[in-house]
Amino acid sequence: MKRRGASALLKRALRILERAYGPRLWDGRRDPVDTLIGTILSQNTTGANSSAGFRRLKERFRTWDEAADARVSTIKRCIRVSGLSRTKAPRIRKILRQIRARYGSIDLGFLAEADPEEAYETLVQFDGVGPKTALCVLLFALGMSVFPVDTHIFRVTRRLGVLPDGVMRERAHELLTPQIAPNDRYALHVLLIAHGRNICRARNPRCAECTLLSLCPFGRNGPRQTSSTL
């Protein structure tokens, strides 16, 4: 790791963030296919926009089978609010068709009985499902002790100095997960995202208001206010 004591630092960060934002507890099992599609819609957009696109999909199609058999243009219209609909619509339909072709129905409930590594490998076999998307399904739908890394978490943990220079975001979860106690992974994931959105922003980070400032060399050294490289 970039600095010693990464595990202890992340533990301290979690406790500080819990005091600032309130505790975060996993709220129970969700449908893995719903979570998979919702995570795809959440890419490169706001939570409100991705939720709106998901809601419109569910209103338009009574089942995922109907969506799998629909025209891409119909799916695209439903999810336009979520952004990048030209990319996401064909991806969603293709994934739904792949699930049905391989398992006979559009149902991933069997993943609940798999171990995390097996469930992860099952998900990343689908076209367009990368590490972060797969891990989000395991964490949010199935309550498995994994740690997805999105752009906010990657930025905050780099600024805290717990990731080495030059690490790619796709590998960040491999380095961070062992540093976080299994029971803390869900809460830290959710809280780091909240902190990244509200305070530790890519541009114009609000370091003077940051509850993690005492832990953060980036903030203490005086961030470049227009920097989006970290």
Residue given tokens 């961030």 in the structure block: 223
Annotated catalytic residue, options 2, 58, 94, 132: 132
Structure-block tokens of residue 15: 């406790």
Residue given tokens 């920097």 in the structure block: 227
11 is catalytic: no
Structure-block tokens of residue 134: 């797969």
8-state DSSP, 215: G
5-3-183 Cα angle (round to 5): 40
Query: What does the alpha-carbon distance between residue 83 and residue 108 come to, in Å, rounded to a whole number?
Result: 26
> What positions carry a catalytic annotation?
132
